[in-house]
Amino acid sequence: MAGMMPLGATDVLLIAGTSLVCTAVVSSLGLLALRATRRATVLVQLLVLASVAALSMTLSVLAISLEMYISPHDLSVLVWVIGISLLFSLVAAWVVARLMRRRLSRLAAAVRSVGEGDVVAADQQGMREFTELSAELADVSARLHDARSELEQLDSARRRFFAWISHDLRTPLTAVRALSEAIEDGASSHPERYAGEVRAQVETMSRMVDDLFELSKLTSGAVQLRTEQVELLDIVSDAVADVRAATEAHDVRIVQRGVEGHVLWADPHQLGRIIVNLLTNAIRHAPAGSEVLITATEIDGERLVLGILDHGSGVAVEDLDRMFEVGWREDPARAAGPADPVASGAGLGLAIARGLARAHGGDVYAERTGDGFRMNVLMPVDGAAD
């Protein structure tokens, strides 16, 4: 190293120019090769890139060596060194390309699995970029699976809902048809007696249509509340009066405890509808001769819980939240009894009650207690959610 001669400016320019020309020629050929193999596999294109880099270096060194007029022996040694290095470089590039191709094949298989609805696991082996891509693919597959499951549940619920609605509408329509045919055939000498029965069936269908319209407004966010300061006792008393016919039909008595003295901001009509729907549900499932208890409790002076307790068997724990889904039907343990004068029968009452409560900034939830089954209406007292 001590005897190494420094390069002059002419030598540096000659080396730089020779390297530039050799690199430009090989790179141009490499670009043409990449263009010709643009539809080939990643393995082929990676080998082309590796060859371009190695050949550029090889050609530049050989050209400069010839310009330096080194001895034939030294040139032969240099050629062998460069040739062996080039060979091993291409072998190494081929091995790396094979590994990358194998990793890409695993990613392609994972993508196909995701397309078929499977959840794939992240592959933590290999290069960082592939690992991050595999982790992202695993996360996407999990989210797609959850979304697909939710969509299937919604579609199943929709089909059940329309089947139930069709069935529930068919019942009063069949009754009205039978009554009208009886009148037409002169089966009764006093057809005016059928007027009450026809009207009852029409009112049942009217309640179902009203519930469907209310539900459509809730799901579209079109419900507009007209809140004001209301006495809870007045709303509860009106709701109890609305379900009086149902209590008589089921031989159930409604008892109030701690309801008086509570004032809150709410839409009186919609709050009354929430209570009527929950009372109807409680009356339908309460044992004959029992009581339905209505209680009210304030929490921290900001929220109020209105509880409606019946002494029925309740629903299974896993159904405590599902029972508020549109069209949900009760467990056989809480099967409906006689027709309710205020119930639509379409399985929409609880869904509407929860939707209206949430529109107020509150909620409706159910719980099993030692005394029976209780539905709770949680409402803000000051109406801040409005």
94-103, 213-222, 372-381, range with greatest mean pLDDT? 372-381
Q: Structural domain of residue 331, as residue ranges? A: 225-380
Confidence band for 305, pLDDT divided at 50, 70 and 90: very high
pLDDT band of residue 314 (cuts 50, 70, 90) is confident
| 344 pLDDT tier (thresholds 50, 70, 90) | very low
Question: pLDDT confidence of 333, banded at 50, 70, 90?
Answer: very low
Co-location of 255 and 375 in the same domain: yes
Q: What percent of the chain has pLDDT over 90?
A: 20
> Quick one: average pLDDT of 235-263?
92
Beta bridge partners of 365: 376
**Are 29 and 78 in the same domain?**
yes
Average pLDDT, the chain: 78
Domain count, the chain: 3
Q: Which residue has the higher pLDDT, 341 or 355?
A: 355
Q: Which residue, of 90, 115, 140, is where some domain finishes?
A: 115
Does residue 176 register a pLDDT over 80? Answer: yes
Beta strand ranges found along the chain (DSSP E):
228-231, 253-257, 263-266, 291-299, 303-310, 363-368, 373-380
181 and 286, same domain (yes or no): no
Confidence (pTM): 0.56
Residues 190 and 333 in one domain: no
302, 332: one domain: yes
Beta strands per DSSP E along 132-209: none
For Cα atoms 242, 217, 204, give the angle at the middle one, nearest 5 degrees. 40
Q: At what angle do helices 128-184 and 194-220 cross, to 10 degrees?
A: 160
For residues 237 and 1, give the distance between their C-alpha atoms in angstroms, rounded to a whole number.
107
User: Is the distance from CB of 350 to CB of 334 less than 8 angstroms?
Assistant: no
Q: Per the domain annotation, does 283 fall within a domain?
A: yes
User: Same domain, yes or no, for 97 and 167?
Assistant: no
